[in-house]
Amino acid sequence: MKKIWSIGLNTFKESFRKKMMYILLVFALIVIGASKFFGFLTAEEELKMIKDVSFSTIEFFGALMAIFGSLYAISTEIERKTIYTLLTKPISRSDFVLGKFFGMAMILLVNFILISLFFIGLLIFKHSPPDIDVLKTLVLIFVELIMISSITLSLGTFSSDAFNVICSFFLYIVGHLTSYGRELVERTENVILKGLGDMLYTILPNYENFNIRDKVVVGVSVNWAYVGNTVLYGVLYIAIALFIALYFFERREI
């Protein structure tokens, strides 16, 4: 575990020395900060706007960090040949992949906490401290970000950066549209199309499961059972993505 922690910590340090992460963080804070300048709205509408913009910003910029950070986590080690030295140390390839994953998770967590604290501070400034539903929304967004990271990391163990980034963004978009896709498939009477649609619905990541912000913004509460089940779905998906990553990386020639 100490080895995984060491690799994770090194990944974390490396990412925080990259300008891209700071730029994304600053952009996210600017967008959230800008949401309070809707003075022409009523106080209630302004609060909704702040929540809506903030949740979307945390999710979108977090997804960008998850994809770009995880994209380079393994490939940079290979391109810069630092992996030659690393893999000759008493670590297994699994330790390496898991270390990279935990490093990315730490990066996402720190960024997520910074942006969330800014958002919560804004709510408190507007005399509307966050309720439990705001926290539920944030928890689900964070699990979604870790899921995106694990998928990009997994793709990176057997594909090029270009293929990986296209696939990761494709899955990010499709993952938010799966519910619409299923509705379309349910309307069709073609058995093959229906079967294919069901299969894709099961296999593809369903990021829309993690989206409760539309409800929370308008004051609809989401029960803990839903949050728990969605977190469980995310954890299972992350575990499968990591298993695939380990499978391919164990066999990869460097």
Partner 1 sequence: MSIISTRDLTKIYVLGKNREVVGLNRANLEVNEGEIFGILGPNGSGKTTCLKLLLGILFPTSGEAEILGRPPYDTEMKKQVGFLPENPYYYDYLNGPELLTFYGNLFNIDHGLLARRIDHLLELVELNDARRLALRHYSKGMLERIGLAASLVNDPRILILDEPTTGLDPIGCRDTRNLLLKLKGQGKTILLSSHFLSEVERVCDRIAIFHRGNLLATGTLAELNARYQADNLEDLFVKTISVFDNPETGQPGAAQ
Residues that bind partner 1 (CB under 8 A): 2-3, 6-7, 10, 13-14, 17, 80-82, 84-92, 251, 253-254
- Which CB, 42 or 85, lies closer to partner 1? 85
DSSP code, position 218: T
DSSP state string for 77-131? HHHTTHHHHHHTSS--HHHHHHHHHHHHHHHHHHHHHHHHHHHHHHHHHTT----
* Calpha distance 64→162 (Å, rounded): 15
Nearest Cα to Cα of residue 152 among 141, 164, 166, 160: 164
Nearest Cα to Cα of residue 70 among 137, 122, 145: 145
Token digits for 159? 């594909």
Tell me the closest approach of the beta carbon of residue 90 to partner 1, in angstroms.
4
Cα 108 vs. chain centroid, distance in angstroms? Answer: 8
State the SS3 of 135-183: HHHHHHHHHHHHHHHHHHHHHHCCCCHHHHHHHHHHHHHHHCCHHHHHH
* Calpha distance 104→69 (Å, rounded): 7
